[in-house]
Structure 1
Amino acid sequence: MSLLRRTVWVVLALIVLLALVSGVLVAMNLRGEDALPAQAESFNATPQLVERGRYLALAGNCAGCHTTRGGRPYAGGLPIETPFGTIYSSNLTPDAQTGIGGWSSAHFWRAMHNGRSKDGRLLYPAFPYPNFTKVTREDSDAIYAYLRSLAPASEQNREHRLRFPYDTQAALAVWRALSFKPEPFVANAGKPAEWNRGAYLVDGLGHCIACHGSRNSLGATEAKRGLSGGLIAVENWYAPSLTDPHEAGVADWPSADVVALLKTGVAPRGSVMGPMADVVFRSTQYLSDADLGAMASYLKDLPDTAATPAASAGPRAPIRRDAGTMARGAKIYDQRCAYCHGDQGQGAMGAYPPLAGNRAVNMARPTNLMQVIAHGGFLPTTAGNPRPYGMPPFGQTLDAADVAAVLTYIRGSWGNDSAPVTQLDTMRR
């Protein structure tokens, strides 16, 4: 066979292979999609449906991403920083040119369930459709009815700023083929209705795994690992594991305390700060006690994934701490922290959290502690806690060595026995 003929056959084989791969990608990106109605639908947005949609939009914290600070509600434009570039949220108001005024409820359902826009364009999963795919059509229609009831805002959608090849539909199609499959929520017949309602809210509309789950190198949540904790990209906050009692697991909490945490931001054994404070402020404080109780039921039943050391491993070797670092940290603590948190880290009931025995202090990752020292710690303002105490930022007064020293002291005092924090750790923040 001549070189020319071999080249032709190789080229033909590559073309066939490319066609097969393209066909597979198209098929995988179309799976689970229903054909859109050929004619305009009749949609009856009753006041009851609109109110239900308003509540569900709060449960999904839709305004948190689709409203800029000081901007029109749901008009989009909020920059969402990712490791692949910046994505801007879209306008969800019923403006005909820039919003969803020309969308039908079927278009909206397809976006929620399949991650595809009205024009067929694949959506980026910064819009958490890998979780919203579990939302029922009835709830999707209710949210759509509520959004259509808003005042239209003529706010042009901004173009995403993503690096190549992440800015291409082809790359997104490959990602979806590997990482996304549309699927409805399926109730667990072996669990009570309250548990299933909690699972629907936590795993679906609440999209908790978007923060509390780990992600692979392509940015997809690792669903098999569940709510085992994850670093929030770019923001550099760690969303602690909801399955580990040493982090944020609540299996041994009374249900009332879990409800209180989600409703007010504070509970006898913990409080929320950072991104979770925003979730409570914008979303969970407005949910009914029944739904919060359902979420508590589900969260309390999550399997304990904390690593259990082998019995043969014996006692853990004592942690060595540099005496000079501890002395420096003690001095900083006395000057900056003791007034509120107490000489023995005991805190003040109802005002300042104790640091002694605090699991947020003793987590293996000191990421959140460094964020709080640098930027301050602020609880959400809620109906149940309208005037929360806050911690001022010290990033402008403490250098890396100071932060490492004071955290090493706090994590090694009053019964706390966690690893020291190094200056290198503070640089990774």
Structure 2
Amino acid sequence: MKRVKHIAIATVFAIFAGLGVLLAPLGPQVISAEQMPAKTGDAETSQAQQTQQTRQMRGAYLAQAGNCRGCHTAQGGLPYSGGHILATSIGIFVTPNITLDQETGIGLWDEEDFWRAMHHGKSRDGSPLYPAFPYTDYTKVTREDTDAIFAYLKSLPPVEQRNPPHQINFPFNFRPLLYLWRALYFTDGVYQPDAVKSDEWNRGAYLVQGLGHCNACHTTRNPLGASQGDSLGGGQIMGSNWYAPSLTSLQEASTVDWALNDIVQILTTGLSSRAVATGPMADVVSQSLQHLTAGDAHAMAVYLKSLPESAPYSRGIAPELTQEVDGLLQKGSEIYEIYCQDCHGELGQGAPGVYPPLAGNRGITLASPINAIRSILHGGYAPVTAANPRPYGMPPFAQVLRDEEIALVLSYIRNAWGNRGSLVTAVQVDRSRKGVQ
């Protein structure tokens, strides 16, 4: 599509900075506190403070790695004060305030309460939580890491913000049903390392399966909101008109045939020689993954590359190239030449590091064209990261192209240059335009 630079302001995440106060001597009679002999009690207090600060800094990093702020902050809201809307198959959830305000937040909670929520999926009073909070993944996080995250949250200023209640559909608003759900779909337990694998592989597995809760998006869910099918096997994102591709299928987003450095690049910058992260994944990269340490990013790459390949799936029925279909694809080709060719190339080759190729692009030929439709309608933007602060992007065409035209050009792209995918209909585009899943 036409070349447009997507210029945005990167969000700067302040973890912690020690404020050192320099005491300049005022005269020969004045000495700094550091020069005075420390009492035993003072030394113990100082050591305890340093230990607590280190713990808080670690908790800040872990909270960022788990993208806690991404869910517990409404657009334009104060960090961790909640209010983010999450639409699901059973109703509308509003994320809670997890600052230390005693009236509207978790100011009355202690470490045990926080551990109970993360590990057991239960609130402070012992009542079961709805799995819109991904405790089915967080249960794998260690007690040490959970306590560190809570120590970080305790260090933040409390925010008084009373968020609206959930709007859960009947009969799911009958909370005792959660006990049945938990019996069917939830087993608590901290991640257990695989003794056969390396420490790096296990670290990557811990991050992907637990703190990163990747399965919360990259899996199919049943009508009750429980994960079903293969882990990381792809699925519709809850409350979103986006599809999170399978991380185990070579026809979707498996990285088994990628170089490790390419996987690290897509995780931390949203851009590699193999793909570009857009949509919800771009937000995850920008808010969370770009801040991983080099070691953790590499560990995740090692684990993701090792995932066993799942069975091939049907990409949908590719059309027979009849005279009628040829006519439709020819119309799509003409639209492509006008609006897309300048950036993506006559042969769909793209421009390395700038515009993604469309030829051989697995994201283009997914069984569901929903992601491609949304990218054309609303634009496609790579995340803003420290390593890529001014990424190129694709402008939205919702006001430029009619539903029929988008269907035609996307049908052409899905069946050009060796690509094979089902035709796209104007009805599918219309549903996506209206936000209907």
1:132-165 superposed Cα distances (whole Å, 9 cap, x missing partner): 0000000000000000000110011321011111
1:1-80 aligned at under 5 Å gives the runs 46-80=52-86
Residue matched to 1:101: 107
Paired residue secondary structure (1:401) = helix
Amino acid of the residue matched to residue 81 of structure 2? A
Give me the whole-angstrom Cα distance separating, in 1, the residues matched to 2:232 and 2:379. 26
1:272-314 superposed Cα distances (whole Å, 9 cap, x missing partner): 00000000000000001100111111111101003289xxxxx
1:345-424 aligned at under 5 Å gives the runs 345-424=348-427
Paired residue secondary structure (1:80) = strand
- Which has the larger share of helix? 1
Number of aligned residue pairs: give it: 380
Amino acid of the residue matched to residue 65 of structure 1? C
Paired residue secondary structure (2:105) = coil
* Aligned partner of 2:331 among 310, 317, 328: 328
Is 1:233 matched up with 2:243? Answer: no
8 Å contact from structure 1 (residues 134, 184) kept in 2: yes
Paired residue secondary structure (1:86) = strand
1:161-201 superposed Cα distances (whole Å, 9 cap, x missing partner): 11111112112222122111211111111111111111100
Give me the whole-angstrom Cα distance separating, in 2, the residues matched to 1:317 and 1:398. 23
Residue matched to 1:197: 203
Is 1:259 matched up with 2:264? Answer: yes
Give me the whole-angstrom Cα distance separating, in 2, the residues matched to 1:428 and 1:208. 27
1:196-345 aligned at under 5 Å gives the runs 196-222=202-228, 225-307=230-312, 320=322, 322-345=325-348
Paired residue secondary structure (1:270) = coil
Question: In structure 2, do the counterparts of structure 1 residues 308 and 419 end up closer, same or farther at CA, with 3 Å as the change threshold?
Answer: closer
Residue matched to 2:143: 137
8 Å contact from structure 2 (residues 260, 301) kept in 1: yes
Question: In structure 2, do the counterparts of structure 1 residues 328 and 319 end up closer, same or farther at CA, with 3 Å as the change threshold?
Answer: closer
Give me the whole-angstrom Cα distance separating, in 1, the residues matched to 2:239 and 2:123. 26
Q: Percent identity?
A: 51
1:187-245 superposed Cα distances (whole Å, 9 cap, x missing partner): 111111111111100000000001101111211012x5111100113312110000011
Deviation at 1:252, TM superposition (A): 1.1
8 Å contact from structure 2 (residues 115, 143) kept in 1: yes
Give me the whole-angstrom Cα distance separating, in 1, the residues matched to 2:379 and 2:311. 29
Paired residue secondary structure (1:225) = coil
8 Å contact from structure 2 (residues 121, 135) kept in 1: yes
TM-score by length of structure 1 reads 0.85
Deviation at 1:399, TM superposition (A): 2.1
Give me the whole-angstrom Cα distance separating, in 1, the residues matched to 2:423 and 2:339. 19
Deviation at 1:101, TM superposition (A): 1.2
**Ranges in structure 2 where 5+ consecutive residues have no aligned partner:** 1-47, 433-437
1:16-46 superposed Cα distances (whole Å, 9 cap, x missing partner): xxxxxxxxxxxxxxxxxxxxxxxxxxx9870
Amino acid of the residue matched to residue 423 of structure 1? A
Give me the whole-angstrom Cα distance separating, in 1, the residues matched to 2:334 and 2:202. 51
Residue matched to 1:40: none
Give me the whole-angstrom Cα distance separating, in 2, the residues matched to 1:234 and 1:306. 27
* Aligned partner of 2:127 among 104, 115, 121: 121
Deviation at 1:425, TM superposition (A): 3.2
Residue matched to 2:177: 171
1:360-397 superposed Cα distances (whole Å, 9 cap, x missing partner): 11222211101101111111000111100111111122
8 Å contact from structure 2 (residues 272, 353) kept in 1: no
Give me the whole-angstrom Cα distance separating, in 1, the residues matched to 2:362 and 2:312. 16
Paired residue secondary structure (1:87) = strand
8 Å contact from structure 1 (residues 319, 417) kept in 2: no
Between 1 and 2, higher relative CO (CA 8 Å, sep ≥ 6) is seen in: 2
Amino acid of the residue matched to residue 278 of structure 2? M
Give me the whole-angstrom Cα distance separating, in 2, the residues matched to 1:216 and 1:189. 33
8 Å contact from structure 1 (residues 135, 204) kept in 2: yes
Amino acid of the residue matched to residue 270 of structure 2? G
**Ranges in structure 1 where 5+ consecutive residues have no aligned partner:** 1-42, 310-315
Paired residue secondary structure (1:267) = coil
Question: Which runs of 4 or more aligned residues in structure 1 lie more than 4 Å from their structure 2 counterparts after TM superposition?
Answer: 316-321
RMSD: 1.8
8 Å contact from structure 2 (residues 119, 140) kept in 1: yes
1:74-116 superposed Cα distances (whole Å, 9 cap, x missing partner): 0001111112111000111111111111101000000000111
Paired residue secondary structure (1:94) = coil
Give me the whole-angstrom Cα distance separating, in 2, the residues matched to 1:234 and 1:72. 23
Give me the whole-angstrom Cα distance separating, in 2, the residues matched to 1:171 and 1:418. 42
8 Å contact from structure 1 (residues 319, 419) kept in 2: no
TM-score by length of structure 2 reads 0.84
Give me the whole-angstrom Cα distance separating, in 1, the residues matched to 2:372 and 2:116. 41
Give me the whole-angstrom Cα distance separating, in 2, the residues matched to 1:161 and 1:106. 28
Give me the whole-angstrom Cα distance separating, in 2, the residues matched to 1:317 and 1:338. 23
Give me the whole-angstrom Cα distance separating, in 1, the residues matched to 2:208 and 2:426. 37
